A and B are shown apart, each in its own frame.
Chain A
Amino acid sequence: QKEVEQDPGPLSVPEGAIVSLNCTYSNSAFQYFMWYRQYSRKGPELLMYTYSSGNKEDGRFTAQVDKSSKYISLFIRDSQPSDSATYLCAAGRGSYIPTFGRGTSLIVHP
């Protein structure tokens, strides 16, 4: 079992919907958490970086970390077809290289 788990999807939503993408992790020592977006045939692109628990907002994106339940979420408001991509979460601690989830495929249809 990987330390960071994601449902691979695909998750299909209509344009304008609020999207919730989630990860769970098993290592309670994880301190920092990231979300990457990966378009087809491209490399992962850093979307959000959070340290410890709480929420962080950037435009239509909100990252949420609940360390008590070891749950990481990414919310996308007013989703657009251009948001269709694979979303990877990652978690890490200290100087260790972060652990990546396998990614969730999101499809936003017009």
Chain B
Amino acid sequence: DAGITQSPRHKVTETGTPVTLRCHQTENHRYMYWYRQDPGHGLRLIHYSYGVKDTDKGEVSDGYSVSRSKTEDFLLTLESATSSQTSVYFCAISPEGGEQPQHFGDGTRLSIL
């Protein structure tokens, strides 16, 4: 297994509350990614990072923010969670972007009531 740990693995929270998901890697990879996976939509990129403090938006970034203060940690924050953000969230890493294949964590199941 690629050294990727996502926490928490499961979370139930209420609409309007802030939520932070953590991705921790032990591979020292430069690139880290956050995806959400929903039935009928597959994997959709939320944000990604190409270095410490270097981040960019993906196709579904509205309502999400990210931070990367250390190479090994990439945080995803929902500032004010909505029911539409109920999903499974996956973190992925790669040594470089593009051609280097991504390796995924086992996901966080987030339910927003």
Which residue numbers of A lie inside 8 Å of B, CB to CB?
Answer: 2, 8, 31-32, 34, 36, 41-46, 49, 51, 88, 92-98, 100-103
- Beta-carbon nearest neighbor of B98 in chain A: A95
Cβ contacts under 8 Å, B102 to chain A:
46, 98
Cβ contacts under 8 Å, B33 to chain A:
97
| Contact partner, A92, options B41, B90, B98, B104, Cβ 8 Å | B98
Please tell me if B60 contacts chain A, counting CB pairs below 8 Å.
no
From 83 to 109 in chain B, residues with beta carbon under 8 angstroms from any chain A beta carbon are 90, 92, 96-99, 101-107
Q: Describe A's contact surface by its main secondary structure.
A: loop
Asked if A49 and B106 make an inter-chain contact with CB atoms under 8 angstroms apart, the answer reads: no
Q: Which has the most chain A C-beta neighbours within 10 Å: B33, B42, B48, B97?
A: B42
B25 to chain A minimum Cβ distance, whole angstroms, is 13
Known A-B contacts A34-B101, A94-B98, A97-B98; the reply to A102 vs B42 at CB < 8 A is: yes
| CA A36 to CA B105, docked complex, whole Å | 13
Cβ contacts under 8 Å, B43 to chain A:
44, 88, 100
| Contact partner, B101, options A46, A93, A94, Cβ 8 Å | A46
Asked if B99 and A92 make an inter-chain contact with CB atoms under 8 angstroms apart, the answer reads: yes
| CA A34 to CA B40, docked complex, whole Å | 20
Please tell me if B52 contacts chain A, counting CB pairs below 8 Å.
no
Cβ contacts under 8 Å, A43 to chain B:
4, 90, 92, 104-107
Please tell me if B45 contacts chain A, counting CB pairs below 8 Å.
yes
Asked if B99 and A101 make an inter-chain contact with CB atoms under 8 angstroms apart, the answer reads: no
- Beta-carbon nearest neighbor of B9 in chain A: A41
Top 5 A-B residue pairs of the complex, sorted by shortest distance between their CB atoms:
A102-B42, A43-B104, A95-B98, A100-B43, A43-B106
From 19 to 76 in chain B, residues with beta carbon under 8 angstroms from any chain A beta carbon are 33, 40-43, 45, 48, 58
| CA A46 to CA B107, docked complex, whole Å | 15
Known A-B contacts A32-B99, A94-B99, A96-B98; the reply to A42 vs B45 at CB < 8 A is: no
